[in-house]
Amino acid sequence: QIYSSELENEFGNFEDWLCVFPLHRGKANEDGNEDEHYVGKYKGSFYVYPTEEAVTEPKVSQGIPRNRPIKVLVRVYIVKATNLSPADPNGKADPYVVVTVGKQQKDTKERYIPKQLNPVFGEVVELTVSFPMESELTVAIFDHDLVGSDDLIGETKIDLENRFYSKHRANCGVAAQYDL
């Protein structure tokens, strides 16, 4: 099945088992703005059972990750981008992709696509990641410039850990064949 929006929208941010809660320091301002006090996030789940049910049916520990880092292989298929913003004076862009997780970074700069706002990349990037330390994947599209620094066209961040622990992860693959 091909989805017409982000998979996070289709599957509730992959928070069917592992939920993300923002952590704030101190009290909220009078206007209720807590953004200034944001210090991180807590990932987990809360289960509340009646005492007798918790003793007879120990479902709590099923599917809980180990209490130590785990290494996973992340394979990112970069198929295409659509409707990119022009970054060059000619109304086009010379896009390439940069994939970052933690301190690892891979890019397709040497294979940028000249003068294109709807590029078909056809790339795959593999990274070895350790959960929970490296759980946020960033996919950014840059405009290649011959002079000066390259311009950021746009980026998205994907929570890999939520996808890994979600029951939907096995159902969100890429088809064996892809045709335009």
pLDDT digits (tens, 9 = 90+) for 112-124: 999 999 999 999 9
Confidence of residue 155 (pLDDT cuts 50, 70, 90): very high
Higher pLDDT, 145 or 34: 145
Query: Using one digit for the tens of pLDDT, what is the confidence trace for 55-99?
Result: 555 555 556 666 788 898 888 989 999 999 988 888 899 999 999
Q: Domain-by-domain residue ranges, the chain? A: 6-59, 68-163
Alpha carbons 98 and 116: distance in angstroms, whole number: 17
Fold of 68-163: Immunoglobulin-like (2.60.40)
Tokens of 144: 């290649």
d(CA 3, CA 118): 19
pLDDT bin (cut points 50, 70, 90) of residue 28 is low
Name the DSSP letter for residue 4.
S
Count of other CB atoms within 10 angstroms of residue 73: 8
| Average pLDDT of span 132-153 | 91
